[in-house]
Amino acid sequence: MRFNHDILHRIPVRSLQVFEAAARHANFTQAGDALGITQSAVSRQIGELEKRLGVPLFARAGPQIALTRAGEVLFERAARAFADLRAGVAACRAVEGLSNVVTLSMLPSVAALWLAPRLEEFAKAHPEIDLRVSASRHLVSFEAEGIDLAVRYGPGNWPGLVSEFLASETVRPVCTPDYARRIGIEQPSDLLKATLIHPDIEEGWSDWFAAAGVAVDAVPSGPSFSDDTAALNGVLGHQAVFLGRSVLTARELEAGRIVAPFDIEMPASFGYWLVRPGGQEPSAARDSVRKWILQAFGRPAQEV
């Protein structure tokens, strides 16, 4: 087989970008979410790239994918190339005085329920900063994805990263006042006759019923959401009771749109952390965003 030295002229850079994202996430759907395209679009781009290269890049077994040896070779170089390009773009912008762009990563639920209500407050405090939010559930690669800061929910001990504690939280049942009246929720055992939305965290309904002293052989089944925003929308629609996390439900509780029928709450296993790579180059804009987030969570901002 003859190698065509002009092959790069026939391969769209977008296809390589999609391949790099798919290989990094090991999942076409997550790659599409990160790039803002559909899973089918990712699949088409990968198929076209494989056709142009003449080699399979992924071994597919149903929804599971894995890099072939050829895919591993290409990914190693593509990841390095895109990381260099992102660093080059950032350096270029800094030279031209455009270093006011800060990309912040966080869970979609935190972006929707914690950050979004505070965006006007941030814009008034820092009109000079171009804040870009990357909402995703995966643990981002800061260099590969061009992320400056991240708000993460977890234990706080991520290797190679600097973590600053933001907040712990508690978990307790929440619902609308109307739903509580309609179902007749007066004591913890009354929740057994409600529709229960099951959370995607360590703490579950069996833990809460045990804390409330309610003996149950089996917790009633119910819908489960991987994102608290969707779960809270179900609650706000007067449809169910959810084990709400205090940080994410605080505004709705304060506004009276939802209530916590009981004071029984559990400490969450994880907390919120502000995370950044160790050894970052100084950036006034990034440090301003960092200090604002710490202040919004009620934490002191130490100098870095």
Q: Both tokens of residue 76? A: 């190693």
Which segments of the chain belong to CATH 1.10.10.10?
7-91
Q: Which tens digits make up the pLDDT trace of 93-142? A: 555 555 688 999 999 999 999 999 999 999 999 999 999 998 888 777 78
256 Rama class: left (phi>0) / alpha (psi -120 to 50) / beta: left
Q: Both tokens of residue 64? A: 């599971």
The CATH class, in words, for 99-168+270-296 is alpha beta
Pick the CATH number of 170-267 from 3.40.190.10, 1.10.275.10, 3.40.50.9100, 3.30.530.20: 3.40.190.10
CB 56 within 8 A of CB 50: yes
Q: What letter would DSSP give residue 281? A: P
Q: Please count the residues of the chain.
A: 304
Q: Which tens digits make up the pLDDT trace of 130-177? A: 999 988 887 777 877 888 999 999 998 898 899 999 999 999 999 999
Q: Which residue has the tokens 């309610």?
A: 214
Contacts (Cβ under 8 Å, ≥6 apart) of 256: 177
Over residues 290-303, the mean pLDDT reads: 87
Q: Which tens digits make up the pLDDT trace of 244-288? A: 999 999 999 999 999 999 999 999 999 999 999 887 777 889 999
Query: In Å, what is the CA distance from 40 to each residue of 31, 46, 57, 61, 86?
Result: 11, 10, 17, 16, 26
Which segments of the chain belong to CATH 3.40.190.10?
99-168+270-296, 170-267
Q: pLDDT-derived band of residue 1, with 50, 70 and 90 as boundaries? A: very low
The CATH class, in words, for 7-91 is mainly alpha
Dist CA 106 CA 178 (whole Å): 32
CB 148 within 8 A of CB 282: no
* Cβ count within 10 A of residue 59: 12
Q: Which tens digits make up the pLDDT trace of 196-250? A: 999 888 889 999 999 999 998 888 888 888 888 989 988 999 889 999 999 999 9
Look at residue 200 in the predicted model and tell me its pLDDT. 83
